[in-house]
Amino acid sequence: SYAFRIFDTSVTVARMVTLSLSCVLLWAAALCMRLVSGRTHALAAGVLIISLPRYLELSHTVMIGLPAIAFAMLSLAAITLWHLRRRAIWLVVSGGILAISVFTKGFTAILVPIFCVGIIIDGYAHRGATDPPRSRWRAAWPTVALWLGAFLVVAGSLFILLVGPTGAEQ
């Protein structure tokens, strides 16, 4: 809607926004692949995604689910960066972007428990093998609380800004 306010209310503007988000989706997928497997695999993944049947045709077609998927992929890229670099900012970025994704289209909410479980398992696995299991599980909770907190703060802020108290019952 912001693009329509800035430019014009036309199909061309909608297609350009969708094409831009399709490029973001492709970039985030290649970034995840590069972080996990290297440049060669990232390039191969990008080529395979572009060569999918009808990808080029659908990448500029106005589709309501594409923005949510693009934001979810960005969230996955951020959480992958956290797994590799261990900087808390990537948890905050990931949680915030996934909240935007969920507000764009609710079907991406299925990723919230999946990401939380992944963060908990990672926190358990990165503790010392000599630590008792109870302390290993306990050590995982601050990271998942940070991610979930960022998700809830952004989701709550979006709710207040976009829906407001008068539209809450809808």
Q: What is the pTM of this model?
A: 0.85
pLDDT of residue 132: 73
Task: For residue 83, give every residue at least 6 positions away whose Cβ sits within 8 Å of its Cβ, in sequence order, or none.
Answer: 122
Give the chain's mean pLDDT.
87
How many Cα neighbours within 13 Å face the side chain of 156?
A: 6
Positive or negative: CA dihedral 138, 142, 147, 149? positive
Distances (CA, A) of 134 to 71, 112, 155: 35, 24, 32
CB–CB of 98/75 below 8 Å? Answer: yes
Work out the pLDDT band at 64, boundaries 50, 70, 90: confident
pLDDT of residue 13: 86
- Give the range among 30-34, 49-53, 72-76, 110-114 with minimum mean pLDDT: 49-53
For residues 79-84, give the mean pLDDT: 93
Structure confidence by residue, pLDDT tens digits, 85-119: 989 999 999 999 999 999 989 999 999 999 999 99
Alpha helices in the chain (DSSP H): 2-6, 11-37, 39-50, 55-58, 66-85, 88-104, 111-125, 133-158
Work out the pLDDT band at 32, boundaries 50, 70, 90: very high
Query: Has residue 122 got a pLDDT over 80?
Result: yes
